[in-house]
């Protein structure tokens, strides 16, 4: 019996435009796609047909789930936009892509990836830090891929560049099913004030 999400309709997944060196990354991307469908949660992602991005999308589509892709025109040929999705939005810039992915999603998950994945992930964390949204943010730490990064995040907290409340914005798990359950149960902290509003960005 799976926990159904009453509030999260779609989750945005950030992940690599490569497959990475180990098959564990692809396996986890497939497991995450299946877990989303079993919780009746749709996928929002960057709309490409390469790397781990397409593995998650294809796993959701195989299980007859909903996949919404958002890709800038300029990347649509380079990342070979995925034309088999439930919906594909072609937008004019990377900024518009990020904003639309955030708007369409009730939560976020980053999986192993490179600079693009980390850029997208930390921008979403920064928006939460500013009180622009209160949506849960998860890190799927497949095979310890993010161990060093999280050590550094703890160091940033230790050196007082990150508050305890802001450190707690990042929910981590090695397991897709456990991570989804944690995001579904998540209650936003009351300690994070709204510093700015969307209208001011
Ligand atoms: P990567 O993790 O570098 O493989 O990139 C994963 C995703 O991030 C891809 O969909 C890219 O389009 C996107 N991406 C790559 N570079 C950037 C960037 N500088 N800013 C924002 N997104 C990016």
| Ligand 1 centroid to residue 159 C-alpha, Å | 29
Q: Over 50: is that where the pLDDT of 1 sits?
A: no
In a domain, 96, yes or no: yes
Closest CA to 88 of 61, 62, 51: 61
Return the pLDDT at 4.
Answer: 55
In a domain, 4, yes or no: no
In a domain, 117, yes or no: yes
Bridging pattern class, strands 42-45 and 10-14: parallel
CA neighbours closer than 13 Å in the CB half-sphere of residue 110:
23
Note down the domain range covering 82. 17-185
Instruction: Give residue ranges with CB within 6 A of ligand 1.
Output: 16-18, 46, 48, 75, 79, 94, 113-117, 119-120
63: tokens are 């299980």
In a domain, 11, yes or no: no
In a domain, 95, yes or no: yes
Mean pLDDT of 154-160: 98
Mean pLDDT of 18-31: 98
| Ligand 1 centroid to residue 109 C-alpha, Å | 15
Read off the pLDDT of residues 191-201 as tens digits, 9 standing for 90 and up: 777 777 777 77
What pTM does this model have?
Answer: 0.94
| Ligand 1 centroid to residue 33 C-alpha, Å | 20
Return the pLDDT at 77.
Answer: 86
Instruction: Give dist(CA 90, CA 39) in Å, integer.
Output: 27
Return the pLDDT at 6.
Answer: 61
In a domain, 44, yes or no: yes
Q: 70 with 44: CB under 8 angstroms?
A: yes
In a domain, 197, yes or no: no
In a domain, 162, yes or no: yes
* Average per-residue pLDDT for the chain: 94
Read off the pLDDT of residues 104-141 as tens digits, 9 standing for 90 and up: 999 999 999 999 999 999 999 999 999 999 999 999 99
| Ligand 1 centroid to residue 46 C-alpha, Å | 9
Quote the number of domains for the chain: 1
Read off the pLDDT of residues 74-104 as tens digits, 9 standing for 90 and up: 998 887 899 999 999 999 999 999 999 999 9
Closest approach atom of ligand 1 to CA 72: 12
CATH number of the domain to which 73 belongs: 3.40.50.450
Per the model's pLDDT, the better-predicted residue between 23 and 197 turns out to be: 23
Q: Which residues contact 138 (CB under 8 A, 6 or more apart)?
A: 107, 108, 109, 110, 170, 171, 172, 173, 179, 180, 182, 183
Per-position b or e across 153-173, b if 16+ CB within 10 A of its CB: beeeeeeeebeeebeebbbbb
Q: Over 50: is that where the pLDDT of 150 sits?
A: yes
Return the pLDDT at 90.
Answer: 96
Q: Over 90: is that where the pLDDT of 160 sits?
A: yes
Closest approach atom of ligand 1 to CA 115: 3
């Amino acid at each position: 019996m799976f926990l159904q999400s009453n509030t999260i309709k779609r989750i945005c997944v950030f992940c690599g435009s490569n497959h990475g060196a180990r098959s564990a990354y692809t396996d986890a991307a497939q497991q995450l796609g299946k877990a989303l469908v079993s919780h009746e949660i749709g996928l929002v992602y960057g709309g490409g047909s390469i790397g781990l991005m397409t593995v998650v999308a294809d796993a959701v589509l195989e299980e007859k789930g909903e996949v919404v892709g958002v890709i800038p025109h300029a990347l649509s040929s380079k990342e070979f936009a995925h034309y088999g999705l439930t919906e594909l939005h072609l937008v004019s810039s990377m900024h518009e892509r990020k904003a639309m992915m955030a708007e369409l999603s009730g939560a976020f998950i980053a999986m192993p990836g490179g600079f693009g994945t980390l850029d997208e992930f930390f921008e979403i964390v920064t928006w939460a830090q500013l009180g622009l949204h209160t949506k849960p943010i998860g890190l799927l730490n497949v095979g310890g891929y993010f161990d060093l990064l999280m050590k550094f995040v703890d160091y940033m907290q230790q050196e007082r560049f990150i508050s305890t409340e802001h450190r707690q914005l990042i929910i981590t798990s090695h397991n897709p099913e456990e991570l989804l359950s944690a995001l579904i149960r998540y209650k936003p902290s009351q300690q994070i004030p709204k510093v700015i509003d969307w209208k001011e960005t």
